[in-house]
Amino acid sequence: MNKEEILYKVEDVIVDLLAIDRALIKPETMLFEDLDFDSIDAIELILQLEEKYDEKISADKLKSARTIQDVVDCLYELLRAREEEVIAK
């Protein structure tokens, strides 16, 4: 899975979560400043991403994410690590 595909899915989740127009968000959109996230929103985001990817996502790993692109990068690393693990087995 490439980063564009992940970005699309993350945007899907955020559009659902906040009930906003997709046009309002971009990769550089700041979660806390632009989208007024609070800590519970961040947890809701993680839960929905976990559901979408059927993958446990550590809240600590996403804690440092400030923008949507940061979330995408973090997910990309996570999924790549999983793929490498599967190949190694």
Partner 1 sequence: MGKAVRIIQYLRIAAGTGLAFVLFGLGGLFLNLLTLLIGLIPNSFPEKREQNIQKIVHYSFRAFYWYLKVFRLINGKCKGLERLPSTAYIFVANHPTLLDIVLILAILPRAICVVKPKIMSSIYMGEVARTAGYISNEDGEKLIDACVKKLNQGTPIIIFPEGTRSLPQTLRLFKRSAAWIALKSDFPIVPAVLSITAPILMKDWKWYHVPPHSMEMLVDIHEPIILEKVLNNPKYDTVSARKLTSHLQQFFESKVIFNDIGSNGK
42 vs 79 by CB, closer to partner 1 = 42
Pick from 12, 34, 44, 70 the residue near partner 1 by CB under 8 A: 44
The answer to whether residue 54 forms part of the interface with partner 1 (CB under 8 A) is: no
- Pick from 5, 8, 30, 39 the residue near partner 1 by CB under 8 A: 39
Convert the chain into a string of H (helix), E (strand) and C (coil).
Answer: CCHHHHHHHHHHHHHHHHCCCHHHCCCCCECCCCCCCCHHHHHHHHHHHHHHHCCCCCHHHHHCCCEHHHHHHHHHHHHHHHHHHHHHC
Site string for partner 1, 59-88 (x = CB under 8 A): ------------------------------
Q: Which of 4, 21, 23, 40 binds partner 1 (CB under 8 A)?
A: 40
